[in-house]
Amino acid sequence: MERIISAATRLFAALGYDATTMVQIAEAADLDVETVMELAGSKRELYLAVMGRGYTAQKALFERALARFDESGAPQIATSVHALVDDYLNFCLDNPDISALLVHRWLGDAADLQNLEQIYNEPLVHAVYSKFKAAAEAGLMDSEADVELCVRAIAWSVIIFVRYATMTTPPASFSEGERSVDRFRAHLHRITTRMLGLSPTSTAETPS
């Protein structure tokens, strides 16, 4: 089953749900179609399994990051926010297929499978938003910041960057490997600080 899920994930990320066939998934898993369907079900069921696995992994990431939040002061909350941003960027870089799947969704892929964002993405956004909103209400970040849009903007920026940076032939401006990642990480910390009005005393803005 693991081999099937892995093959399906790679193909859905590369081609999209609509352009992927069960024959391709079977070939990538080195199995016949009948065996794939017997073990994993239809293409729709496989896609839902792939999306569910991505959600589960991200949920665990955010639960760990939010559990470590230090709300004892503005510098501490700033450090906690930057640590979460770093964790999310690292996760997406380590799991580029998840970003690719989301980009395909944004472009209308698997349009017949509705409400997946509400099931898999919105709970994660809400968890982060709630933590940030509480910090803003406590005066630990800018109380006038549109916290929900800040959370979404950070996620959008990371997903798009990772999608470009992990392309087989990335644009010339993204062809500098780790240096591009370092540049983006520093940029992400700067815009996060400014959007949320975080304490400038945090040292977390400097990438490690």
pTM across the whole model: 0.89
- Average pLDDT, stretch 77-81? 96
The pLDDT of residue 128 = 97
Q: How far apart are CA 75 and CA 179, in angstroms?
A: 27
The pLDDT of residue 165 = 83
Contact, 193 vs 200, CB < 8 A? yes
Of the pLDDT bands very low, low, confident and very high (cuts 50, 70, 90), residue 207 is very low
Q: How far apart are CA 148 and CA 26, in angstroms?
A: 41
> Is residue 80 pLDDT above 70, yes or no?
yes
Backbone dihedral region for residue 70 (phi beyond 0: left; psi -120 to 50: alpha; all else: beta)? beta
The pLDDT of residue 173 = 60
Q: What is the domain partition of the chain in residue ranges?
A: 51-196
H-only helix segments in 68-120? 74-94, 96-106, 116
| pLDDT digits 0-9 by tens, 150-190 | 999 999 999 999 988 887 776 666 656 667 899 999 999 99
Multiple choice CATH, 51-196, 3.40.50.720, 3.30.1540.20, 1.10.357.10, 3.30.930.10: 1.10.357.10
The pLDDT of residue 208 = 42
